[in-house]
Structure 1
Amino acid sequence: MLIKYIIYRFLSAIPTLFGLSILVFILTRLVGDPAAIYIHPDMTPEDVQRVRELYHFDDPLYVQYIYWLKGVLQGDLGYSVTANMPVTEAIKSFLPATLELALYAFTLSIIVGVYLGTKAAANKDKLIDHLTRLLALSGYSMPVFWLALMLLYLFYNVLDFVGPGRLSLEVRFKYMPPYGDFKFYTGLLTIDALLNRNIEVFIDAVKHLIPPVLTQTYIHIAIFIRVLRSSMIEEMNKEYVDFALSKGLRREVVLKDYVRRNSYISLVNVAGLQFVGLMSGVVLTETVFNWPGLGRFAANAAIQLDPAAVVGFTLFVGTLFIVVNLAVDILLAYLDPRIRYE
C-alpha cells in the first residue's frame, strides 16, 4: 500500500508542477519585455528582431510557453545580469552556501527543539515548561535582522572571534583557487575540507558558520518547541495513554515511545515548511553575515531589477516546495499508516 501511495502522490504532483510553470511563465511576461535581457545598446534593429525571432517572442503566448518550457527542462532560465552568468549557473553557484547553512541550522533546530519540546510537555506548568515557553516566545517574536546584527556584533566586535562571510581572507588566499590547490567536491566547505584533509579550512569554515547557524536555530527551535509541546499535551489527554500507564508502563517510556511518536506527525509537517524556508535562502541572515547564498543573490537581483534571476529563483523555490511537500507526505504515510488508506 505504501508503494501505491507514493506513486499516487508522485503523479498528483505533476499537475502542480505544470500549474507552477504556467504561473512563472505569466510572471516572465508581466515584468516587461522578455527580450530585454538579451538586448544591449550596441545592437541594431535587425539584431533585435533576430533575437525576437530566435526566442519566439513574437509568436502567440501558447507557442512562447512551449518553447519556454522546453528551455526550462533543458536548464535554460535566462541570463542573470546581477551574477553575470546564466541563471542556472548562478543557482548552482550560490546553492551550496545556502545548503550548508540550512543543513546545520535545520539539524540543530530539530535536535534542540524535540528535546526541549518533550521536556516542556512532560513537565507541563512546571518551571522548565515556563522557561522553555519563554524561550520559544522570544525566538518566535524576535526580529531576525536584529538577532543577526547582535550576534555579528558579539562575535566580530566584542569577542573578535570571526567576521562575516564563509572564510577569512587569510585562509582564502592561502588555500582557495587560484591561490591554492583546494578542490571542491560538494561545494560545502566543511565537507570539502575534510575530503581535502585540510583541518585549517574546516575549523575556519565552522567558525564562520556559528553566528548564522545560531541565528536560524534560535528562530526555528521556537517553532518546533511550540508545535511539539502542544501536540504532545493533546496526545497525553487521550485514552491510550491512560491504558498504557494502567498496564504498568513507565511514564517516560509512554511519553517517548508513544506520545512523542504520534506527535511527530504535526512536527514533520512544520519541519518540511521550515526546511524549504531555509533552502530558499534566508535573505536577512545571509545579507547581515555577507553569506554568498541564494537569499542574498535573490535580494540583489530584486534590487537591481534582474527579472531573469527573480523568475528563475521563484521557479526553483516553487519546485523545491513541491518536492519537499511530496517527501513530507510520504514520510507521514510511513509514520501513520492511516494516511495511506484515506
Structure 2
Amino acid sequence: MPDVEGRAHGDTWLQRRTLRSLQVCEQILKWKQTGAALENQEPTSAHSSPSVSPEPLSLQDVGVRFQYCIAAVEDLERERDDLIHELAVLREPSLEAVRQAHEEVVQAFGQRARVELERDALKEEIRVVRRRLFRVTRECVACQYQLDNQQKELEKKAAEREDLETLAARLREELNQLRETFSQQRETQQQSLQTPRSRRTSREIQERRRLSAELQSLIEEQHSSLEELYEPKLLQLLDRCERGARALQAVQEELQKLREETRPLQAEAYSLRLQKCSLQEQISLLKKKRGDEVLIYREQLQELENTKREIKICVQLQQHQNKEMEELRKSLTQELAIYKGCLEIYGQLFKSVTKKE
C-alpha cells in the first residue's frame, strides 16, 4: 500500500510539476515578449524624433511591474519549497522500505548464523556420541569374541573331562573286576586252606602265596600308575574349569554392563537423529524463507530503483526549472537594473524640469 500511494502521489506530483512548468514557461515568454517590444519601441521612437525625449513610464507602472516580478519570484520560491517538501515526502517511504528490507535481511542472516552454530554444535555432539558408541561397540565385540573363545575352550575341556571320566569309569570297572577276581581267588585259597593239611603240599602253598603277592603288587602298580597318570590331568582340568567358569562369569557381567551402558547411548543417538532431522527441516524451511525474502527484497529493490529513476527524472526536471528560474532571475535583475537606471534618469530629468520651472 505505501508503494501504491507513493506511485499515485508521484504521478500527481509529476502532473502538477508539468503544469506549473508550462505556466512558468508561458510567463517567461510573455515577459520576454514584453521586454523585446519595449526595446524595439525605444530605438524606433528615438530614431523618428531625435529632438524629442522618450516618454517615460510612470513610477506607478514601474512599481506595479516590480511588485508583479517580486510576487512571481515569491511564488517560484514557494513552489520550490513545496517541491523540496514533496521530494522529501516521496523519498521517506522508499527509505523506510529500504531500511525495513535491510533489517529483515540482517535478521535473516543472524537467524541463519544461529542455526548454523546450533547445527555445528549438534554435529560435534553426534560425533562424540558416535565415537563413544564405536568404542563401546568395539569393546563389546572384543568381549563377545573372548566369550566365544572361552565357551569353545570350555566345551573342549568338557569333552576332555567326559573322556577322562569315561576312562576313569572303565578303569574303575577293571579295578572292580580285578578285585572280584582277587576276592574269588582269595576265597578259593581260603577254602583250599580250610581243607585238611594232608591234601596241601608246601609247593601249592608257595605257589598260591606267590600268585597272591603278584596279584597284589599288580593291583597296586596299576592303581599307582593310574593315579600318577590321571591325577595331575584331573586336577589341572578342574582348575581350568574353575578358572574358565570365573572368567565366563566376569565376561558375562562385563557384557551385561556394556549392554546397560549402550542402551542410553542408543537412546541418545536416536534422539540426536530426530534432532538432526528436525534441524534439517528447519534449515530447509529457512532456506526457502530466505529465498522468498530475497525474491521479495529484489522486487522491492526493483521498485525502489524505478522510484529512484522517477525521482531522478523529477529532480532533473526541477534542476531544469531551477536553471530557467535562475535565468529568469538574472534577466529580472538586469531588467531591474535597467529600470533603476531609467528611474535615476527620470529623477534627474524631473529635477531639471522642476528647476527650469
TM-score by length of 1: 0.20
Return the index of the structure with the highest Cα Rg. Answer: 2
Higher relative contact order (CA 8 A, sep 6+): 2
TM-score by length of 2: 0.19
Kindly indicate which of the two structures has a greater share of residues assigned to helix: 2
